[in-house]
Amino acid sequence: MWRVPGYTELRTLGEGAQGRVVLARHDATGRTAAIKYLAERLNGDAAFRERFREEARLLQRLRDPYVAGLYGLVETPEGAAIVMEAVDGVALRRVLEEHGALAPEAALTVLKGSLLGLAAAHELGIVHRDYKPANVIVRGDGLSKLIDFGIAVDAGEAGRSGTPVYMAPEQWRSEPASPATDVYAATCVFFECVTGRRPFAADSPAVLMNHHLTAPVPVETLPEPLRPLVARGLAKNPWDRPHGAKAFVAELESVAAAAYGSDWEARGVRTLAGAAAALAALFPLTALGLGTAGAGAGAGTSGAVAAGAGKGVLGVVGTKAGAAVAGGVIAATAAGGAAVYVAADDGPGRPPVAPLSVQLASYQQGTQGSVPLSTAGQLVQVRGGEPALARRINEALRAPLEERRRYYERSLAAQPGARPSVSRVKAAVRTGGPRYLSVRYDVTLDSPTLSHPTWSSPLSVTVDLGTGQAVPVTRILTPAAFEAKGLGTLATRLKNGADIDSCLRATLPRLTRRAFEPPQPAVHVVLQRGGLEFLVNMTALGETTACGKADVVLPYTGLTGLVDPEVVKAVS
């Protein structure tokens, strides 16, 4: 069985289908580390190898006191292993098994620490996807660390991966993951900490999935002050949850202080420290006489122990390797083909950023509450690039679809006896960079309640790829375009540029600035290479339900003075 050279195994910490984790001591320095080995049977599987490398790359970017850190990735023809920080503590799962429900202050403390670790990941555009009690380690000082990013992904990536009892509705539907996905799982665990049971349980995966997708949140089993917090965190629609862990922390602190006083966190830490201390025999370092269960991180070899960083890990390959340092990351190649990637002591380092790419993704949502509306179709998403920027871009690309869905939901809710309806979306990229990404969404409402064809109309969104922000129409069109003369010119050009019905032809002269304004603009504009595409639906202004719609592309050469010349230059 292959072992990382230069380390002596002390004990096995965990074992599963994809590998095992051991506590080990670095022979040259005496420091400890947790080493995660890829299972031997998977060593020749290229996909699992790459997944293993991706986990190491992700951890190398993520440096935070609430997350167990990476020391290195070691690969040889015989095997692969990730060398990590060893945390002297016990899994929250064992704490709950031993003590059952925790005091609200202790549960809030666990949730806050975990959310801070998740927030650090979310800032990099990373979604954990497998937050659960087994992946939270409570130390002897009552503080906690988040571990195991084995199935983490960049925000926007879809897949049905995770631990079912904590999976968010969008995971069950194989929809793109977002920071709100982790918020859902963390809230599930918080519910379990407070009540001693999970919010949803079932004997079969199908029933469990249905609970997560449709069952009301059992907030009545919680202390009253915590109910709104949990209801928000477990909202079925990810856009109704806090959009990231950082935002959820702010809500948590406000609720906790109001309900349990300004010293709630100090009491919570003491309670957790006591609960963890009762299980000190399970602490990996303390059990071997290498740590002190109640000591904080960085005190001797207790707490979270640094192992093998910089020079220590390079001892794995010794003098047989040639090493190059670039951007704070050491890449060393040893005799026999071994490779080590490790964060250097002088900085966290960052891996090369993958190019930004545009792709179509699935956009599906089920019925929310009593409103009989489901959504199916496509949306445009990006991958690669700087993760935080990609996350902002994807949020901007999704926003108009979410606003249209809320519009439909409000309209259906206002209709007594509204019948089941389906919103269908087809996406098309009009301009794909390098400065702007401009997208058209054709949205069709299939509804026996809202049955007039004017309920179906296209949307658009243009995103600045440098900032990740949606570009308002006031940045595409010049101020002159919204003056009476400019609006008159646009109306004339639109009438002459398409075969439109008489009603719409009569309505266009009444074109106003309001027609371009959110939340339900009557005219959308989409950037194309040769001209500006206008998606016209004047009925959105309540003019008349008899008017039709028109799609018109006007060449930029005929819009001089009405379109920002810098925008034209960027897309021409």
Residues annotated as part of the active site: 130
**Phi, psi torsion values for 108, nearest 5 degrees:** -65, -35
Close Cβ partners of 19 (under 8 Å, ≥ 6 residues apart): 36, 37, 38, 39, 42
CA distances from 163 to 107, 186, 318 (A): 20, 12, 40
DSSP 368-401: BTTB-EEEEEEEEEEESS-HHHHHHHHHHHHHHH
> How far, in whole angstroms, is CA 232 from its chain's centroid?
17
CB environment 146-162: b (16+ within 10 A), e (fewer) = bbbbbbbbbbbbbeebb
Length of the chain: 572
CA-CA distance, 91 to 108, in Å (whole number)? 16
User: Residue 431 is encoded by which pair of tokens?
Assistant: 């301009």
Cβ(123)–Cβ(389) under 8 Å?
no
Cβ(501)–Cβ(436) under 8 Å?
no
Please state, as a whole number, how many other Cβ atoms lie within 10 Å of the Cβ of residue 61: 18
Close Cβ partners of 379 (under 8 Å, ≥ 6 residues apart): 360, 361, 362, 363, 397, 398, 401, 425, 427, 441
Cα-based angle 117, 123, 128 (whole degrees, multiple of 5): 55
Nearest in space to 2 (alpha carbons), one of 458, 362, 338: 338
Give, for 170, the enclosing helix (H) or strand (E).
helix 169-172
Give, for 113, the enclosing helix (H) or strand (E).
helix 104-123
Give, for 97, the enclosing helix (H) or strand (E).
helix 92-99
CA distances from 450 to 373, 409, 496, 523, 553 (A): 11, 11, 32, 21, 29
Cα-based angle 506, 509, 511 (whole degrees, multiple of 5): 120
DSSP letter at 68? P
Close Cβ partners of 190 (under 8 Å, ≥ 6 residues apart): 107, 108, 110, 111, 230, 233
Cβ(68)–Cβ(147) under 8 Å?
yes
Name the 3-class secondary structure at 214: helix
Cβ(67)–Cβ(120) under 8 Å?
yes
CA-CA distance, 170 to 248, in Å (whole number)? 19
